[in-house]
Amino acid sequence: MYCSRIMSFILGRKIHFMDSMKQTYMSANISHSMNSYASALFVTTVLVGLVFFLAGIGLFSFFLPMVINFPNSFVFTVLVFLMSLLLGVLFGAVVFMMIYYYPSQRMDYRRKRINLDMSYALSYMASIAGSGVAPQVAFKMLAEIGEYGEVSTETKHIVRDLELMGKDLNNALVDAAKRTPSTQFAQILISIRGTLLAGGNFMIYLKEKAQEQMFAQQLRERQYTKTMELYSDFYTILVVAAPLFIVTMVLVMGLVGGSETLPIPAINAIQVLSYFIIPAINIVFLFVIKNEAESRGVVG
C-alpha cells in the first residue's frame, strides 16, 4: 500500500508517461487501477533488475576466474560489477517492456474477440427484443448469460452504469462506445442510441445489424478458406514433395558418383534437412497462418 502511494505520487507529479496509456488501459479492462499498475510496473522492474544484478555478481565472480587471468583484483571487481549491472539492466528492461505493453496486447485481444462474437450477440439480443422487453433488459440479459465473451463483458459495464452509477441508457451507451476497443462495436452502440432517440424499432435494427455482421463474417471465413487452400498447396510442395526429391537426389548422387560429388556427406545433408530446414519451414508457416487468421478476423 505504501509502495503504491509513493509510486503514484512520483508518477503523478514527475513522469506523466503513463497518461498516453489511459485509453488503452481502459479498453484493456484490467481490474486494477492505473496507478497501482504503474506502481507494480516500476517495483517489479527494480526487483527483477536487482535480483539479476546480485545473481550476476555471484555467477561472474565464480566463473570468470576460470576463463580469464586477471592482473589484479581491481580489474576483476570492476569487470564483475559492470557485467552484473548490464545483466540486471537488460532483464529489468525486458520485464519493463513486457508489463508496459501488456495492456496494448490485452486490448488487441479483446478487440478481436468482440468483433468475432458480435454478430452472435446481436442475434441473441434481437431475439430478446422480439419478446417486447425494454432495451435495458436486453442488455442485462446479454450480460448475465456470459456466453459471448468480451461482448458480454462490455454489456456488463453498461448494466453497471445503469444500475450502480445511475446513468440513463443514452449516456451509458456513449461511455461504452468510448471505452470499448472495437470500433465496430462502438459504432453499433452509437447507432442503437440514435435509433432509440429517434423512436425507431430496436428489434428490427438489431436483426439488420446481426445479419450484416454475420454476412461479413461468412465472407471473411470464405476468403480465409481460399487462402488456406493456396497455403496448403505451397506447404505440400515445400515440406513433403521437395524434401523427398532432395533426399532421393542426394542418395542417388552419393551412390553413383561417390561422396566426392557432394559438398558434404549425404547423411549430414539429410540431417540438416530433417532437423533444421523442415522445422524452420513449419515454424514460418505457423506464423504466416496465425497472422493470416488474425488479419481476416476469423480467430481471436
What pTM was estimated for this model as a whole? Answer: 0.74
Please tell me whether residues 183 and 239 are part of one structural domain. Answer: no
Residue pLDDT, tens place only, 89-108: 999 999 999 999 999 989 98
- Alpha helices (runs of H) in 18-166, residue ranges in sequence order: 22-28, 34-67, 73-129, 135-145, 149-163
Please tell me whether residues 120 and 204 are part of one structural domain. Answer: yes
Please tell me whether residues 93 and 120 are part of one structural domain. Answer: no
Residue pLDDT, tens place only, 33-59: 887 888 888 889 999 999 999 998 888
Please tell me whether residues 24 and 97 are part of one structural domain. Answer: yes
So what's the pLDDT on residue 160? 92
Please tell me whether residues 104 and 123 are part of one structural domain. Answer: no
Compute the distance between CA of residue 167 and CA of residue 158 in angstroms, rounded to an integer. Answer: 9
Please tell me whether residues 185 and 229 are part of one structural domain. Answer: no
Query: pLDDT at residue 14 above 80?
Result: no
DSSP string, 223-254: HHHHHHHHHHHHHIIIIIIHHHHHHHHHHHHH
Please tell me whether residues 9 and 104 are part of one structural domain. Answer: yes
Among 161, 184, 214, the domain boundary falls at 214
Domain coverage including residue 182: 113-214
Please tell me whether residues 65 and 124 are part of one structural domain. Answer: no
- Pair 203, 137: CB distance under 8 Å: no
Please tell me whether residues 161 and 239 are part of one structural domain. Answer: no
Radius of gyration of the chain (CA): 29
What is the number of domains present in the chain? 3
Cell of 213: 455482421
Binning pLDDT at 50, 70 and 90, where does residue 17 land?
A: low
Please tell me whether residues 192 and 102 are part of one structural domain. Answer: no
For 235-259, what is the mean pLDDT? 79
Please tell me whether residues 102 and 8 are part of one structural domain. Answer: yes
Among 194, 214, 234, the domain boundary falls at 214
Among 159, 190, 214, the domain boundary falls at 214
Number of CB atoms found within 10 A of residue 258's CB: 9
Please tell me whether residues 145 and 227 are part of one structural domain. Answer: no
